[in-house]
Structure 1
């Protein structure tokens, strides 16, 4: 009979349970698990007179003793692990019986698997099972597995049965079959020990009572022990870390930052990349500077890619700028995310060939989540023109929000480290495919997200091990809660105060203001006025792009209005100016028939991150193209309607601006400003009088600074995106100053 532990046929275990009676049982197996041996003993021990086991050389003389116990327990299920202590005790009692004999083969390895039962009363009840099944849960059919087993089982005292009996007796009597096992002690001396006694001791270790502290230390050692031992045995790493520990930047860090820096360095050394995803305010810039200093000491060039608005965050620490870290003499190249296009990276004395040279480099990408779209022009440019051409480049990514909408966001960050190679971590982390790993992880995340009473532990249990291994190996991420004992002040609950000016001219509320916005924003969608059949290169995609652009302009204006009426005023004035310019060009073309190209409003398109995912390019549409489509008059009329709407808006905003300008004291028609002044005045009466006001837009910041200063709020400073040297201001504002 064929037994493969599948279908309607019996499993190996079911066969043994049903057909084993009064007799002897001989077993040859490569190795066994405690659970399988326990189940076997439970169904046969009361009937079998004598057991003989032959085990292969499951632990050779060079292997650590702990390897045995790994074999004895491998593939154990979560449910079985809770019963392991009881199971181990029962197996030890079984093995201690005199009727249980065990031998091991040394130095040979036996791949044979056979079960031979000799019934002492009836030859018809003898049986054998021979094939692929080890004495494990999976091997004898106690546990579902993807492994395919194949065995032959027969009953009766036939020729095959007798041949197998003779084969077993010969194997049992061979010189290689020993009741003792060889081991090597710490001095290299080989000694022997009774193999059955050895197995019993190893299994007894499972139900040794350990204190929680001992278990905790054991877990720590299993997680980090090999890494710590490897570091201690790497004199070069120890020496380089020693140099870093003598720098100004390293000694300015909190302990948690120092530990993070050391972890990042190890990740960069082992995998050529790392992600620092600490929460906002935990000093990612300084931590990154320490990593930069480590590699600067090793002679590696550093290139920093950051949003343009963060340039001074990095520039202020360069050598000869009299910074806090002047003695470290930081030297690195700063480029912007927006430079990832054409020849924009070539500035000063740095040409493109240098960025692709063979010189070892460290690439630091600040706000790396802006490069989460693997199909964007910037992402592709970075991969094709910087990462792939450099044979020796390490990538450090900084982001407090590496995941935005899906796990694919952080997958694309890992892809940068792997130079867009889907199998880039195959050798280092045994991850065959990033796409497949994250595909499984995203599906499990979605299932978890839509389930009721979900818990984080349930998600972690379902995520693929490759995903967990990748994240653990390449990310450092601490929350403020993790380090809350490091002198962080106690925070009060935030207060949300919803206040807007009661009226702006004839507009009584924000709703009226938003409803009076231009109906079409015509100047931003010229592609709508071109017939595709006449102009072949103006595609449907261009029209979709223009429609998206108009929606983004609406969003931009709503965000500016939410920030302050002043920011809205400045922005709608720029939009109006652009529309007026396009209108004048259209009238000029209609009068003179001199063709003119409509250039995009670069000032608006570069003014807010809302446009970051829009592929802007350098598209130009000529008025002659609109004219040849018969749409010029419609284009001009729609521009007039938009200008008319904006004129009414701007007139009301101008009057409101005049009223605010004339104001003095702490009351104002801008009720939002008035409430802010009230909060500041109250704060100035407390022991800690410092106030920091964050706003998303420069227009709002300048407006608030001007109004607060005018109304008598003293010792006030302004920092915005165009502020060049703000370090002195930050230092004066810092705690304990």
Structure 2
């Protein structure tokens, strides 16, 4: 059997860690950063071994750049112990409040990991200085032929490091293992306690329970949040005459639900730079979209199926609606010719708004 683990098609680090956890009494992990990403993949193996102790020494923090998690290893020489711990807690909060953890599986698992923390079976310390090393040391049960096994290499304790991406790790069970354990123990003894002091442990638990995606909310709190978001969407008032006037000038009835939708959409666009109109068939989404475009006072382009473009006399389709709402400088292009539409946008710097009709055709 090869001592190298590269996350190839037949062998990955997760599989090997699961095997070793099943027959270990203690785990000593030195990792770049730790935010439950990788350990949640070890949930089944840890759950089956009710006696194993997990010591995790964390060398780095994480930050978010362009919505991605990245390692952050700034010098901490001028920081106090509390500063280092607070930075780590903030790092942990950022990472858990990401899309990776927003799923039913993790919500179910986190209760188990919190119990590990409470029972002192999951012990976390933070290095005083940034450390990028990855070391997985297994102290095996007495019934095993070997007493210690070490895995070291490039893999962090994350899903990509354990399974998804190409890595290079080596498993060692003889020469150098005592020296590696001594290195870990020395670093462990000089690191800052995170979960072994009750004040910090409670602070960590409070962050997990109340400042992350796993926070439990009551049905009433959920209702209030939805109601708040709904009311905030009416911040833009359409009591002026402009929209009513353009509706009436084209013999459109300014229905209240359409005016409400226009106001909500403009409010959402102001906050998020885009909006989805998802009314059912027949409620006038095209009219609402044109009214929104009229209120934005910007030039744009409509991308729609070829059958909805309309004719050159502007008697039907999008060409008619753009004319009705005085969007004379707007363009209509076929969704079947996206490259041509993109070329047009690239050649005209004044195109600021894009309307995509039948947008469900573009879903993944």
Give the TM-score normalised by the residue count of structure 1.
0.34
Superposed counterparts of 1:457-472, under 5 Å: 464=364
Q: Residues 97 and 149 from structure 1, CA distance in 2 versus in 1: closer, same or farther, beyond 3 angstroms?
A: same
Among candidates 92, 101, 107, match of residue 114 of structure 2: 92
In structure 1, what is the equivalent of residue 251 of structure 2?
none
Tell me what 1:731 maps to. none
1:247 matched to 2:241? The reply is: yes
Q: Does 1:151 align with 2:145?
A: no
Question: Match of 1:734?
Answer: none
Distance of 1:26 and 1:164 partners within structure 2 = 11
Point out the structure with the larger helix share.
Answer: 1
Unpaired runs of 5+ residues, structure 1, are 182-191, 233-237, 318-329, 334-361, 411-437, 439-462, 465-737
**C-alpha distance in 2, partners of 1:53/1:37?**
14
Q: 2:148 matched to 1:126?
A: yes
For 1:103, the equivalent position in structure 2 comes to 125
What is the alpha-carbon distance in structure 2 between the residues aligned to residue 119 and residue 4 of structure 1?
23
| CA shift digits 1:134-153 (9 cap, x unpaired) | 3445645xxxx431232211
Name the SS of the counterpart of 1:27 in structure 2. Answer: strand
Aligned to 2:178: 162
| RMSD (Å), alpha carbons | 5.0
> Taking structure 2 as the reference length, what is the TM-score of the superposition?
0.62
The corresponding residue for 2:46 is 41
Q: Deviations along 1:297-350, whole A, 9 cap, x unmatched?
A: xxx579999631528967997xxxxxxxxxxxx8664xxxxxxxxxxxxxxxxx
Match of 2:65 in 1: none
| Contact preservation (8 Å) 2:290, 2:321 | no
Bigger RCO (CA 8 Å, 6+ sep): 2
Shift of 1:154: 1.7
Distance 1:303 1:25 in 2: 59
**What is the aligned residue count?**
311
Call closer, same or farther: CA 1:4–1:201 in 2, change over 3 Å: farther
Contact 1:102/1:196 (8 A) holds in 2: no
Q: Contact 1:292–1:302 (CA<8 Å) still a contact in 2?
A: no
SS across alignment from 1:54: strand
In structure 2, relative to structure 1, the CA distance for the partners of 1:256 and 1:94 (3 Å cut) is: same
The answer on whether the counterparts of 1:113 and 1:131 sit within 8 Å (CA) in structure 2 is yes
- Matched with 1:210 is 217
Distance in 1 of aligned mates of 2:126 and 2:206: 16
Greater fraction strand: 2
Name 2:70's counterpart in structure 1: none
2:156 aligned counterpart, secondary structure: coil
Q: CA deviation at 1:281?
A: 5.4
Number of the residue aligned with 2:81: none
CA distance in 1, matches of 2:171, 2:126: 25
Q: Which residue of 1 aligns with 2:24?
A: 20
1:74 partner SS: helix
Change (3 A) 1:92 1:74: same
Among 200, 204, 216, the alignment partner of 2:205 is 200
1:5 and 1:12 in contact (8 A); partners too: no
In the alignment, what sits opposite 2:138? 117
Please give the alpha-carbon distance, in whole angstroms, between the structure 1 residues aligned to 2:299 and 2:102: 49
| Native 8 Å contact 2:5 2:11 kept in 1 | yes
